Every structure is written in structure tokens, then in C-alpha cells.
Amino acid sequence: MTSMLAADSSVARNDLDDALWWRQASVYQIYPRSFADANGDGIGDLKGVTSRVPYLKALGIDAVWLSPFYPSALADGGYDVDDYRDVDPKIGTLEDFDEMTAALHQAGIKVIVDIVPNHSSDRHTWFLEAVAAGRGSAARERYIFRDGKGEHGELPPNNWTAIFGGSSWQRITEPDGTPGQWYFHLFAPEQPDFNWKNPEVHADFETTLRFWSDRGVDGFRIDVAHGLTKNLDPAFDHLKSVLSGQDLFEDGQHPIWDRDEVHDIYAEWRKIFNEYTPPRIAVAEAWVEPHRRARYASSEGLGQSFNFDLLQADFRAADFRKIIGDNLAFAADSGASTTWVFSNHDVVRHATRYGLQRTGAQDEAQIMNVGGKQWLLDGGRQDEVDTELGLRRAKAATQLMLALPGSAYLYQGEELGLQEVGEEIADEHRQDPAFFRNKGVEIGRDGCRVPLPWESQGSSYGFGAGGSHLPQPQWFSRYAVDAQEQDPASTLSFYRRAMALRHELQSAEELAWEASPNEHVLHFSRPGGWHSITNFGTTPVALPEGELLLASAPLEDGLLPANATAWLRA
């Protein structure tokens, strides 16, 4: 089977009608404003993506997922959408979008776009209408407006804290100029939450899903998929950490998160997805209890759900093994395949996380907090990161991930081995609301959103002919695409080789654990004789018999060194 697929892999990837393409796809996440800038204004754009399609094709990915490119004031990196059915004029036009999609499809790459249904921006027509229309109006019913507490309504309806800090309620000024009602926002005040009890909200998102599906989009990534339906009954007011998700209920009755009725929405959406050939796919960003992922991933629902377990895990064999086993079982429950991911636009790049501490575990709080970058404040300074170790482990982990059944998500720049940018981004250049609203606590997510270095020389390292909307440190030069393309030992060459092999070796979604020399080594095989062995320990280990296909670090006297993965054909 392998040789046939090898010869034909480009044909297989070009088959845009294959309804099951997503099950073991590799999906590359593009953060459009930081990928490539075609017109030199310092902001990445859709033409920039189009210009880099040959690069994406050479990387061997099956799909791209584009973070929001819609009109936005960028109060939250584009996750504050002014208009769901247009392109931000700062980064292109709908024609550019069509051109980009056509070029990607031509290269056999599918297109996934981000849908942000929990909240719009406060510049969305509906929100402007809601404020203008006044108390009790139908327009206000599209959002979550309440009267304040206190004698003059001067206090927020409750004391909940938004995810980016501050109150989760914001007071508006009524059309007559008086202080007025309050609206609810899970995230920044510029991101008012929709009222999903309102049928108009349902209808509008259905229109949006059809709009992009009709334009040829292959799938959707659903932002905050577990947060849309809410029960803001005052009975819950006393719950303190309600928005952080730390007190997730498992009974589907939490006031905000993972409520059972959220699935009614996705059942409606599924009908729309299935109107298309092949059916459009969707993947939920749902931070829920692992066993509750299955409903998001079911074929009556979105169809797939992110699992962020490896992203939050220590670099330890036992932890990886448990997570892999559990998630393959959860996936089997839902009938979907699972998704694996180490890096995205919300978290510290894994090449940096893994270099943060020489041996010990990564503290979850250092990594997450809606991607909070607490690690720079309380977890360590940039100069304490062992970048070499970090990259070495990141490559080992990624190679392991690429051998797993299910889909693998890569984040732009990880194929270059890019490190997180830390203190080098001065406060005045920061963009993330998590930084501004949580000063001194969170450094924010800008450090993983710095524009890519395409060339070792030049003003923005080949990002564009002009500058870069977030400053790139000098060391970005060392990671540039042009140099790595020439170097067979580069991280980019490693990723390309790994992706090509993945296409060649990928078969049934099965995994068997194999005996390993010690507890720090994970060895599994896939049907067809594909073996993956990762050494999480500190001493080199012997490899089993077989043809060595790829190793994330050079073997030492024929042994697999520490912090490395090898693939064998046996």
C-alpha cells in the first residue's frame, strides 16, 4: 500500500470530493495579519497568502485554517468581527479571498475559516442598532442587555469577571445621553455576546455559513463553541470563577459553559454542512471535560472537536501515553477522529515552552490562561529559556504527533522552529487585550503572533516590502525560510520530510502500543509497519529492527538520543 500511495499522494490530496478528507488531515493555521504582506503596509494580507501557496504545497499540508480576516478594529486580533460576510479592507477583498481559495484548491489544499459566533464586535451593525434602539427594543434582544443594580443602575448586574480581566458587564450611554443598561461580554468589552435564545441570531449565522460554503470554503473552526448558550439566572450570581471555566459542571447546566442546549445549534448547522458535496466540516474549539467532547464531535454535530491535552501536557512519556489513549477512546465514542495540536495563536510556542525548564513539568498556569503568558512574569525570563532543548523536544513531540491517527494542527512558524518573542515587544507595541486588561499579570499572546521571517535579510525579513505590525527581533533572521530551504538539516526540511512520510505511511486509524526499552520511551505502530519511537528520557536507547525513515535528531552510535523521535518501517 505504501508505494502506491507514495507515487500518488498528490492525486489523493487533490481529490476535493473525498468526504472523509478531514479525518487524518494535517491542517496549517494561518494568522493572516502575520503571515505574508503583499502590499508592504506592514500587515499580512490575503494576497500574501496566495503568493505563498507554493510554500504551503511544498510543506505538504492538506488544509489551511485561517484565523479571522473579517473587518475588525482588532480589539482582539480579529476575533471581534464587524461583518461576518466580508474581508477586512486592511487585508484584502472578497475577490482576493476567491483568488486565494482557488490557488489553494489548485494546489490540493483545503480551506477552513474561523467562525466567531459567541460575540460580535461592538462596531457590528447589530450592536450599533441595539444601542441606538433603546431599552426593550428588538435590536437589544440580539445581545444580552440588563439593567444595572444599585439605586440608579450604576452597578453591574453581577460581579463576574471577563476572561480578559475587568467586569464582564459594560455600561452603555443611552441615545438620550444618560448612563444606561449594561451588556454582557465573556471577553473584551469590544466583544458583546450574542443572545442565542434569539432566532434572528441563528438565522444570521446560518446565512454566514452558507455564504462561505457557497464561496467554496471546505470547513469551519468554531470559536468558543462551548459558550454560546447561557443561563444568566441571578441564582448563579454568587459563582466567582464562573467565566474562567475552572468550575466546569459536568451536568450540562453550568450557566455559561458546555450547556446541553448548545448542541441544538450545531444540529442545525450540521444540516447546512450536509447540503454541500462534500459536506463542509467543522471543528469545535471547546474547552470542556474530555468525556463531553464527543457530542461536539458527533456526526449530528460539528463533527470534530479540538483536544488541547497534549498542548497542556508535560513532556513526559507517561502523560503522553495516557492522553493519546484517552483521546483515541473519546474519538471512537464520537465516531470522529481526534485532533492534535501543540501550538496556536493563543499559547506560547511549544519550542519555547519545552525549553523553559530543563527537566521539570510545565506548570499549566504558565502555558494557559486563555494563552496567558504568565511564564514570562512568574515562570521565567526569556534568557532562561533553553531554546536548543525546547526546539529539540518540540521536534520530537511534533514527529510523534504526526504519526498519530487523527488530524494534526500546525501553527505558522513552528515549521521554522520559531521561538516565542518575549520582552522584546515593548509595551507600546503590544496589541493583545489580555495584556492591557490584565496589566502586570498577563503579558498576552503577541509573542506567538509576530510576522514570519521569509528572508534572512531585509526590513521585515521578507514578510513584506515594508515594516511589520509587531516588531520582529533580530534573531528572527536565523529562522528565515530562505536559509532553511537550502539546508537539509533545518527544521523546515525536517517538517517537509515528516509531512511527506506521513502522507505515504498514513493508513487505517489504528495504533498499537509496542514494548519499549524503558518507561521513558513510547513506541507505537500503525498498520502497514509504521513505527514511531520517542525517547523522553535522558539516556540514548536502542531502536528496534527496521528501516530508519526519519529521526528528529541525529542518532548517536546508532542509538536514539534523549528528546528525540524516530520513525521506522518494520
The residues annotated as belonging to the active site are: 223, 275
Strands ordered across the beta sheet of 145-146: 145-146, 179-184, 169-173
Among 28, 31, 187, 461, binds ligand NOJ (CB under 6 A): 187
DSSP string, 463-494: S-SS--SSPPPGGGGGG-HHHHHH-TTSHHHH
At residue 481's C-alpha, the angle toward residues 476 and 486, to 5°, is 125
In this complex, which beta carbon is closest to ligand NOJ, that of residue 35 or of residue 320?
35
Binding-site partner at residue 116 among ligand NOJ, Ca ion, none, CB < 5 to 8 Å by type: ligand NOJ
Write down the least CB distance from residue 340 to ligand NOJ, Å. Answer: 17
For ligand NOJ, which stretch binds (CB under 6 A), given 74-82, 138-146, 514-522, 542-550? Answer: 74-82
In this complex, which beta carbon is closest to ligand NOJ, that of residue 88 or of residue 504?
88
Binding-site partner at residue 415 among Ca ion, ligand NOJ, none, CB < 5 to 8 Å by type: none
Write down the least CB distance from residue 347 to ligand NOJ, Å. Answer: 9
Binding-site partner at residue 43 among Ca ion, ligand NOJ, none, CB < 5 to 8 Å by type: Ca ion
Binding-site partner at residue 131 among ligand NOJ, Ca ion, none, CB < 5 to 8 Å by type: none
**Is there binding between residue 448 and ligand NOJ (CB under 6 A)?**
no
List the interface residues with ligand NOJ, window 281-310 (CB under 6 A). 285
Write down the least CB distance from residue 396 to ligand NOJ, Å. Answer: 26
DSSP string, 376-408: IIII--GGG--HHHHHHHHHHHHHHHHTSSSEE
Number of residues in contact with Ca ion under rule CB under 5 A: 5
Among 39, 161, 244, 477, binds Ca ion (CB under 5 A): 39
Number of residues in contact with ligand NOJ under rule CB under 6 A: 10
Dihedral through CA 517, CA 523, CA 526, CA 530, nearest 10? -70
Can you tell me the distance from the alpha carbon of 359 to that of 486, in angstroms, rounded to the nearest whole number?
Answer: 33
List the interface residues with ligand NOJ, window 355-384 (CB under 6 A). none
Residue 105 DSSP SS3: helix
Residue nearest to Ca ion (CB): 45
- E strand spans, 297-453: 303-305, 339-341, 407-411
Binding-site partner at residue 499 among Ca ion, ligand NOJ, none, CB < 5 to 8 Å by type: none
Among 21, 22, 28, 79, binds ligand NOJ (CB under 6 A): 79
In this complex, which beta carbon is closest to Ca ion, that of residue 89 or of residue 558?
89
Residue nearest to ligand NOJ (CB): 79
Can you tell me the distance from the alpha carbon of 377 to that of 191, in angstroms, rounded to the nearest whole number?
Answer: 27
C-alpha grid cell for residue 18? 473525498
CA 46 vs. chain centroid, Å, equals 19
Binding-site partner at residue 41 among Ca ion, ligand NOJ, none, CB < 5 to 8 Å by type: Ca ion
Distance between the two ends of the chain, CA-based, in angstroms? Answer: 14
**Is there binding between residue 88 and Ca ion (CB under 5 A)?**
no
Among 2, 41, 497, 529, binds Ca ion (CB under 5 A): 41
CA atoms within a 13 Å half-sphere pointing along the CA-CB vector of 552: 31
Amino acid at 33: R
Write down the least CB distance from residue 119 to ligand NOJ, Å. Answer: 7
Say if residue 130 is exposed, middle or buried (CB neighbours under 10 Å; 0-12, 13-18, 19+).
buried
- Residues with Cβ within 8 Å of 260's Cβ and at least 6 positions away in sequence, in order, are 252, 253
Write down the least CB distance from residue 357 to ligand NOJ, Å. Answer: 26
In this complex, which beta carbon is closest to Ca ion, that of residue 43 or of residue 416?
43
Can you tell me the distance from the alpha carbon of 66 to that of 263, in angstroms, rounded to the nearest whole number?
Answer: 24
**Is there binding between residue 43 and Ca ion (CB under 5 A)?**
yes
Can you tell me the distance from the alpha carbon of 271 to that of 265, in angstroms, rounded to the nearest whole number?
Answer: 10
Binding-site partner at residue 14 among Ca ion, ligand NOJ, none, CB < 5 to 8 Å by type: none
Cell 515594508 appears where? 466
**Is there binding between residue 37 and Ca ion (CB under 5 A)?**
yes
Can you tell me the distance from the alpha carbon of 70 to that of 91, in angstroms, rounded to the nearest whole number?
Answer: 9
In this complex, which beta carbon is closest to ligand NOJ, that of residue 48 or of residue 192?
192
Among 116, 288, 416, 492, binds ligand NOJ (CB under 6 A): 116
Among 346, 415, 442, 446, binds ligand NOJ (CB under 6 A): 346
Can you tell me the distance from the alpha carbon of 366 to that of 362, in angstroms, rounded to the nearest whole number?
Answer: 7
Report, in angstroms and rounded to the nearest whole number, the Rg of the chain calculated over CA atoms. Answer: 23
Are the CB atoms for 509 and 377 separated by under 8 Å?
Answer: no
For ligand NOJ, which stretch binds (CB under 6 A), given 27-35, 56-64, 72-80, 194-202? Answer: 72-80
In this complex, which beta carbon is closest to Ca ion, that of residue 43 or of residue 401?
43
In this complex, which beta carbon is closest to Ca ion, that of residue 412 or of residue 552?
412
**Is there binding between residue 82 and ligand NOJ (CB under 6 A)?**
no
Identify the H or E element spanning 10.
helix 2-14
Write down the least CB distance from residue 283 to ligand NOJ, Å. Answer: 12
Write down the least CB distance from residue 77 to ligand NOJ, Å. Answer: 6
CA-nearest of 459, 454, 449 to 479 is 454
**Is there binding between residue 446 and ligand NOJ (CB under 6 A)?**
no
Q: SS3 string of 255-318? A: CCCCCCCHHHHHHHHHHHHCCCCCCCEEEECCCCCHHHHHHHHCCCCCEEECCCCCCCCCCCHH
Are the CB atoms for 70 and 83 separated by under 8 Å?
Answer: yes
Among 37, 62, 76, 82, binds ligand NOJ (CB under 6 A): 76
Write down the least CB distance from residue 87 to Ca ion, Å. Answer: 12
Cell 426593550 appears where? 136
List the interface residues with ligand NOJ, window 202-241 (CB under 6 A). 223-224
Can you tell me the distance from the alpha carbon of 420 to that of 417, in angstroms, rounded to the nearest whole number?
Answer: 10
Residues that bind ligand NOJ (CB under 6 A): 76-77, 79, 116, 187, 223-224, 285, 345-346
